[in-house]
Chain A
Amino acid sequence: MPNVLMMVKVTIDGIEVEVEAGTSILNAARKIGGDAVPPAMCYYSKLPGTGGKCRTCLVEVAAGSTADPRPMPKLVASCSTPVQDGMVVNNKTSERVHNNRGGVVEFLLANHPLDCPICDQAGECHLQDLGYEHGSAKTRYEEERRTFDPIDIGNKIKLHMNRCILCYRCVFVANQLTENRVHGVLHRGEHAEISTFIEQAVENDFSGNMIDVCPVGALTDRTFRFKSRVWFLKPMDAERSCSKCCGKAVVWMFGNEIYRVTARKDKYGEVEDIDGKTAWLCNDCRFEHKSAADWNIAGPRVISRNSVISQGKYATSIEKPVKRIG
């Protein structure tokens, strides 16, 4: 019976869930949802091969499996560890995981500049969320932060190498979505940096998706640079017919003006699947169509009420979010 997948039972934070064999702990936890889900800075479910780099998704495995119930001695990266039958995982319930994750955040922030007031990603930055939950208000790092000379990678995408946490997501986007990859990670260790071959501009139809997958503000929309702050804008679900991509996007509006266009993202910050396909946006939709007449605007997007983006938008004064179809 080759089509029947083997199902395994795994317990995460005391909640039992049944998943297919070979699923990672992280994806099993996402099936439960809520607090059981470890955060992820580098793993991106829509990009095969990502994960295992940032170490923020570390979890404690209290029992390896029914066959071998010994606990794993070290914390494991949940994004790249497959579940086994009878595995017991602690994420939120484990003090050790919390402390370790705080340490990982401290490492990520060691070289990350404190320029959130300037950064366009502020308000939708995963490192900000993580820092808020785990980071301390003061840094113990006494050395100078590493800095890079600014590199111009074209007039559509802005690269701030200083903010990069080297999650490699953008490289996977370039490998998997575009025809010719022109950027990658150069050098090693502390000197590693995202760059293009001899300062060549990144020009591919789908290169703009690097902006959406970037968990921090290293890759931002240059056409939106310093235009506004995300929490002053109103995200609206919009659609247009496009020959290159699905044309389903979120337009960020201020009054009747469209300030920027992004892909539709789910609660994990990943681009949503629409009609069974990941709704990546082409550069044409993202950068060239900033007029409200170009888009068929469906209605306000549902934003978590805990997000800063929903700040100042009183639920009674704007139209009620409509439930999206499909």
Chain B
Amino acid sequence: MESLTNRKVVVSDKPMTFMEKLYLPGILKGMLVTFRHILMRRKTIKYPEETREFAPIYRGMHVLKRDEQGRENCTACGLCAVACPAEAITMTSEERTNADKHLYREEKYASMYEINMLRCIFCGLCEEACPKEAIFLTDRLVPTQFERGEFIYGKDKLVEPVDHRIDITKRQFTGKRTTL
């Protein structure tokens, strides 16, 4: 019967010719390929010492941004959680007191904000849904851990430190929203 894919190869056991029996031409041909690769540019890098460049829109570990005055942008509106297809985000909100005005930008803030990095599929929909430009995915990787519980990232790991800001200016959704 005619093959459907035409991918099968018929095995033949015809006897080797004189040239093939010599072996040497075959070995030389193979070595030529090997030596050609010595002259080529290397395709690998020495990983821990050297790292590859990330794309500006690489979707890695999340960051919760602060504004110029160091106040948290997140207002716990819940749009990231409702947009999340993996249901990785949970939060509880609280009303800001007058004493906390320098900590949170809006009247309401997230008292607890957790992302389960084991559930997260790094799709970036939370970043797209955020109306306050608070959550961004960054080019940082989520480090490996031994315990599952350590992958639940709270605000201590997500909110950027005031003195060590995370650059997100190259992200697709930076500066797209009016902040009122």
* Contacts of B73-114 to chain A: CB distance below 8 A: 75-79, 81-82, 87, 92-95, 106-108
Task: Report the Cα distance A117→B91, complex, angstroms.
Answer: 14
Task: Indicate which residue in A116, A117, A118, A232 contacts B81 across the interface (CB closer than 8 Å).
Answer: A232
Task: Report the Cα distance A225→B131, complex, angstroms.
Answer: 20
Q: Does chain A have a CB within 8 A of B38? A: no
Q: Does chain A have a CB within 8 A of B10? A: no
Task: Report chain A residues within 8 Å CB of B87.
Answer: 312
Task: Report chain B residues within 8 Å CB of A117.
Answer: 75, 77, 79, 106, 131-132
* Chain A interface residue count, Cβ-Cβ cutoff 8 angstroms: 18
The answer to whether A311 touches B82, judged by C-beta atoms less than 8 angstroms apart, is: yes
Q: Does chain B have a CB within 8 A of A157? A: no
The answer to whether A116 touches B77, judged by C-beta atoms less than 8 angstroms apart, is: yes
Closest A residue to B87 by CB, please name it: A312
Within the complex, the shortest CB–CB distance from B74 to chain A, in Å, comes to 9
Closest A residue to B134 by CB, please name it: A117
- Chain A, residues 226-241, CB within 8 Å of chain B (1/0): the string is 1111011000000000
Q: Does chain B have a CB within 8 A of A1? A: no
Task: Report the Cα distance A311→B84, complex, angstroms.
Answer: 11
Chain B: interface residue count, which band?
10 to 19
Task: Indicate which residue in A114, A115, A138, A229 contacts B78 across the interface (CB closer than 8 Å).
Answer: A229
The B contact surface, by secondary structure, is loop
Q: Does chain B have a CB within 8 A of A14? A: no
Q: Does chain B have a CB within 8 A of A167? A: no
The A contact surface, by secondary structure, is loop
The answer to whether B131 touches A113, judged by C-beta atoms less than 8 angstroms apart, is: no
Q: Does chain A have a CB within 8 A of B180? A: yes
- Chain B, residues 120-153, CB within 8 Å of chain A (1/0): the string is 0000000000011000000000000000000000
Task: Report the Cα distance A258→B82, complex, angstroms.
Answer: 20
Within the complex, the shortest CB–CB distance from B107 to chain A, in Å, comes to 6
The answer to whether A231 touches B107, judged by C-beta atoms less than 8 angstroms apart, is: no
The answer to whether A118 touches B180, judged by C-beta atoms less than 8 angstroms apart, is: no
Task: Report chain B residues within 8 Å CB of A227.
Answer: 93
The answer to whether B132 touches A226, judged by C-beta atoms less than 8 angstroms apart, is: no
Task: Report the Cα distance A114→B78, complex, angstroms.
Answer: 16
Q: Does chain B have a CB within 8 A of A253? A: no
Task: Report the Cα distance A227→B81, complex, angstroms.
Answer: 15
Task: Report the Cα distance A225→B78, complex, angstroms.
Answer: 14
- Chain A, residues 106-150, CB within 8 Å of chain B (1/0): the string is 000000011111100010000000000000001000000000000
Residues of A within 8 A of B (CB): 113-118, 122, 138, 225-229, 231-232, 308, 311-312
10 further A-B contacts with Cβ under 8 Å, apart from A116-B131, A311-B82, A312-B82, are A115-B107, A117-B106, A118-B77, A122-B77, A138-B178, A226-B76, A226-B94, A227-B93, A229-B82, A231-B82
* In the complex, the 8 A-B pairs of residues with the closest C-beta atoms, listed nearest first: A117-B77, A229-B78, A114-B180, A226-B93, A118-B108, A117-B75, A226-B108, A226-B95
